[in-house]
Structures are given as C-alpha cells and as structure tokens.
Structure 1
Amino acid sequence: MTEQLNDVAHIAHAELYTPKPDESLRFFVDVLGMEEEARDGQSVFLRGWGDYLRYSLELTEAPHAGLGHVALRTWSHDALERRVAAVEATGRGAGWIDGDVGHGPAYRFTDPDGHVFELFYEAERYEAPPHLAPSWRNQPQRYVGRGAAVKRLDHVNLLAADVRPTREFCQDVLGYRLYERIELDDGTETGAWMSLTIAAHELIYVADAYGARGRLHHLAFWVDTREECLRAADLFVDADVPIEAAPSKHGVAQGFFLYGIEPGGNRVEVTTGGYFVYDPDREPVTWSAAERARGQFWGVKTVDSFHTYGTPDVANEKEAITT
C-alpha cells in the first residue's frame, strides 16, 4: 500500500453563491442557526458554534446559485508548499491570492471538472465576543440553540461530468482517502466518497446527470444527534423551506440526513451519524448499480431530483422541487 499523503488537514470553508442574498442569509442565520462573523464586499461570513476558525461558510451575492470555491487548510507552511508544487505539476494551478477574511495567502486551482479550490495554512482562530463566550474552554463558542444550531460544515458534495479523474486528482495530488464508490457494470464510476480524516466522508463527487461541469450537489452541516435532524425538519416546514428528502439514513457512509433547498436555490443538508475509519489498510467499498437501486439504508426510495438537480440549475428543476 502506498504511504498516505498527510499535507492537507481538512476543508476549512466553502463559498456559496446566491442570487437572493438577504433571503439566503436569513435561512443560514435563523433556520440553521449560524452566526454572522464578518462582511466584506458582496460576501457574508458565517460560522457554526463548533467551528474553530472564524467561519466555515462564505455566502456571496451572485447572478446564480452554485459553488464559489472550496478552501482547504494544510498542516503547515511546508505542507502548503508541497501541495502547491504538486498542483502546479498537473497544470491546474491558477496562482496565489493575498488572502481573504480570516486567512493568509492562498493558492487557487481547479479540479479536472472545473470546481475552484484553494489551499492555505495561515488562519485566524475564532475569538468569541462576550455574548458568545463559552463556559468551557474546550469549545470555541457558546451554544445558543437558535434554529437548527448547526455545529460545523461537515462535507461538500460536488457534481462532475466524469467522476474518476476528479477522484484520482484528489487522491494523488491532495491526499484524500477513498472510502466508498459506485461503479456501474460498464466500469463507469458514478460516485466517490473521500476523506482526509477518519470521518466516512468530507468530499464527495457524484455524476452530473446532464454532463455539466463545475456544479454543486450540496453543502452539509453537522448536528450532534438524530433528534436535532428531526427538529431541523420541523423548522424547515415552519420557515417554508422546501424539503427535498425528509430525514432518513443513507446506505453509503450511513449518515442520517435532511435535505432542503435554501432560498437562493442551493441544496443544503443537515446531517449526523456515519462511521469512522481507523483501519490504515481499508479497501474502498465499491457499490454496483443494482445495490444502489435498493435506495437508502432503510429501503426509502431516493427522490429523482436528488440524482439530477444541482446548482447552477441547468434544467429549471428547482420549480419541480419547490412546488
């Protein structure tokens, strides 16, 4: 077995585009319970109560919904330089930026499908103001219990015209471990669940039903219990947030889920559960099309839009989800 790369620590934040900035902001603050940490230009920076950095979500006004970029934090300055050199060797590098709110210089690049990523190391840890100061020193912020009270950004799920090269890029260049995947009878890879840690998944690629490139499937935010997922579903109903898939349990990665469409049109998940991988020699679990046809863990049929809808919307499917 090839020794695992260990230069990238985790996904630090994701940037989400929205054509309805005020409505989207209210969703993330009032319904998901995130805290507004900063503003800069057309962007608002938001955090879950368990995020150790200043924020995990950058919400940016844009003409259409979708993903702006995914930011990865490395373990050190040296690790950053090594991964930048590896990205540059692939020809996918876009170059350095001076930094952004809460972090230092970052190197931007794209994956083979065109999604924008950045690598950085220098970052500002969150310092809570008095009204959010925690009572225990081992948590960064007081738990306020507003809305769903999401704790942190859990994972990012990206759509790809061709899953295999994007997955291989993330493994070979960034050091992701592949934990689960879907392969059809003809050898086509249609899904890959990867992680930099023992968590069952942090970065996912699934096949884009329209063969489009660079689209977002969803962002997922963590809560500690299944009961909190169920409560989030009630909050979605009361806030008129369209529920695409009611709470249930995934087969792949075994996470408990709730999926809804935030006002800007992006799919958002509230999640908990799953499993940890401690085995250093674990072989990826490969699922066939027939196995995936069983639906979710408890036999619940996956809604059709879950396999097709993404942002930007290329087929006007949001109307079918929200009506």
Structure 2
Amino acid sequence: MGILRLGYAEINVTDMEEAKSHYERTLGMKHVEDVNGAAYYKGWDEWDHHSLVLHEGGVGVNKFGYKVQRSEDLDYFEKKAQAFGATVERMSAGDTHEVKDGIRITSPSEHVFELYSEMTEVGSDVGFINPEVFPRDLVGVGVPGVDHALISCEDPDLVNKFFTDVFDFYPTEQVVTSLDDDASIIGSWLAATMKVHDIAIIKGPQGKLHHFAFQLVDWSQVGRAGQLFSMDDVSIDVGPTQHGITRGTTIYFFDPSGNRNEVFAGGYHAYPDRPCVKWTPDQLGKGIFYITRELNERFTTVFT
C-alpha cells in the first residue's frame, strides 16, 4: 500500500514551440501527443503515457501526479487527507488525460496533487523483453524520466506534517533552525519509498515551484548534459556540482519560460528507519552546493 513515485508534472510555459524544443530536442523527451492545446511528454525509460504536460500561458506548476500501488489506496489517502483537513475531490477517468479514477488534493502549501493507480501504458523505448540498456536513437541529454520536485511554502513545518501524515512520506534530510527539540523546519527532503527524496519543501512564497528534476545515472551523464546545454544556449543557474544534502550530482537550469529544471544523479538509498540527517543554517551553503559551499541569490529567490 502507498505512493510509488512522482508520475507527472503539469507546468505552464510562455511559448509552446520554444518549450517543445527545450524538452524534446535538448532534454530528449519523447513527444507523445498534443491534445486540446497541451503537449504530453515522457522519458525513454518510462512506460506510462506521460510524465510532463505543457500548457501555454504563464509559468509555474499547475499540479503534480503521484501514482499509488493499488486502486484501494485511493480510499485510504482520501480519508487521511480529509482527517488532516485538506481539500479533497474525486477524479473520474479522463478528467486528467489518459489517467483513470483518482483523487485531487490541495495541500496546505496550495499545491495540487493528483493520486491515481492507473494511466494508459504506451511502453518504454527499449521494451521489457530482452531490452537494450538504452535506445540507439537518443536525442540530446536523453533523460530516462522525471525524478522529483522542490516546492516552496510559507509554513514548512505544516507542509512537512501534511506529507508525513497524509501521504506517509518520511523525511530523509532537513534544514532546521537549531538542533533543539523545538526547532523549526526551513527545508525538508521527503521520500515515499527508497529514493533519497521524491519531494522537497523549502520556506518561501506560497504555492510556488522551485524546480522539477530529471533522473540521470551518474556524474559523467551530468557533465555531458552540461556540454549539451552550452551547445543549445540553455540558461544555467548552478553547476555542474554536488549536493551535500542527498549527495546527488546536479545542474540547475531554466527552460525558455523561466521554469527551473534539474538533472540529478546519484544520491543514496533511503530507508524509513534511517535517522533523518539534520543541517543547520550556518552550513546551508555546503548542504546545497557541497563543492563551492555558496548559494547564489538567484537560487534562493527565483520561483515560478
């Protein structure tokens, strides 16, 4: 029982053709189809219909989708969300394109999360019978799929409680005001299964997106991504570098509309019984960017 993974992010872009070129040509996502003005994409190693949806008009995130293990889990999470006091509504099949029945929950951070157990399967690019290790015709970075997202909110303590109490996530790492028992949370990295994090939250403007990330295998692939970003004049925020928090290697960059993306590799396997790592504010630079140990102003102030 429970949430399996981040299934999709639905974002707004200012120019659909520029956005398509970025996600399709530079990042190498597969364009599945256009429906009612929205563009649907997936990574080469993903098998469900889509993991990214683009809508033209503005910037930022409309909603996230999390896939659950079984249809019965929807009743379980609906009751937990109602008990928490969150706004919950039922989704019928087709309310979200190619997604079956589900529930839509608005979190205390004012982000919308859709939980579902089934999406139309279209298959991965290498298949599941005697597959190759990657497709021969990869384009650009060739991202296998989406990985996680980081959102901002005014009350990280409350939103952290929402994810632990309602979604059964557990914190793997946190930035706290002090090491005292009554310390407040500045940021929290939370996992649903054994990934180092599926969602992260930081103190900031309510209902905003800091970034969403694509998975890569290792440091060499992150470096190659950086080379491709230079070829395509992609706006780089930070990197290539490594995080202290999660230990992942990373590049942060912007799509043509100003939505921040990340390519992320590495990290460690998390387990619910592993003690949560704590970081204090004086070490936040090292926690976020382990090598330079410095935060730039753009990284801490730009949200969409």
TM-score, length-normalised on structure 1? Answer: 0.87
Q: Which residue of 2 aligns with 1:146?
A: 139
Q: Which residue of 1 aligns with 2:59?
A: 65
Q: Which residue of 2 aligns with 1:188?
A: 184
Aligned Cα RMSD in Å? 1.9
2:170 matches 1:174? no
Q: Which residue of 1 aligns with 2:27?
A: 32
Q: Which residue of 1 aligns with 2:13?
A: 18
2:96 matches 1:114? no
SS in 1 for 2:166: helix
Task: Give the CA deviation at 1:203.
Answer: 0.4
Q: How many equivalent pairs are there?
A: 298
Q: Which residue of 2 aligns with 1:75?
A: 69
Letter in 1 for 2:278: T
2:160 matches 1:160? no
Task: Give the CA deviation at 1:117.
Answer: 0.7
2:89 matches 1:102? no
What aligned pairs does 1:1-323 form with structure 2 within 5 A after superposition? 6-62=1-57, 64-98=58-92, 99=94, 100-127=96-123, 132=125, 134=127, 136-137=129-130, 142-185=135-178, 187-208=183-204, 212-278=205-271, 280-294=272-286, 296-311=289-304
User: Which sits farther off after the overlay, 234-243 or 89-98?
Assistant: 89-98
Task: Give the CA deviation at 1:26.
Answer: 0.7
User: Which sits farther off after the overlay, 65-74 or 102-111?
Assistant: 102-111
Task: Give the CA deviation at 1:91.
Answer: 3.0
Q: Which residue of 2 aligns with 1:318?
A: none
Task: Give the CA deviation at 1:58.
Answer: 1.0
Structure 2, unaligned stretches of length 5 or more? none
Structure 1, unaligned stretches of length 5 or more? 1-5, 312-323
Matched residues in 2 for 1:294 and 1:72: separation? 31
Letter in 1 for 2:43: G
8 Å CA contact retained: 1:155, 1:202: yes
Note the alpha carbon deviations across 1:269-316, whole angstroms, 9 max, x for none.
0110111024x42121111111224362223422221111110xxxxx
8 Å CA contact retained: 2:188, 2:200: yes
TM-score, length-normalised on structure 2? Answer: 0.92
Matched residues in 2 for 1:151 and 1:86: separation? 32
8 Å CA contact retained: 1:49, 1:140: no
8 Å CA contact retained: 1:36, 1:44: yes
8 Å CA contact retained: 2:211, 2:260: yes
Q: Indicate the percent of aligned positions where both proteins have the same amino acid.
A: 26
Task: Give the CA deviation at 1:90.
Answer: 2.7
8 Å CA contact retained: 1:52, 1:140: no
Matched residues in 2 for 1:282 and 1:74: separation? 23
Letter in 2 for 1:77: S
Task: Give the CA deviation at 1:188.
Answer: 2.8
Letter in 2 for 1:69: K
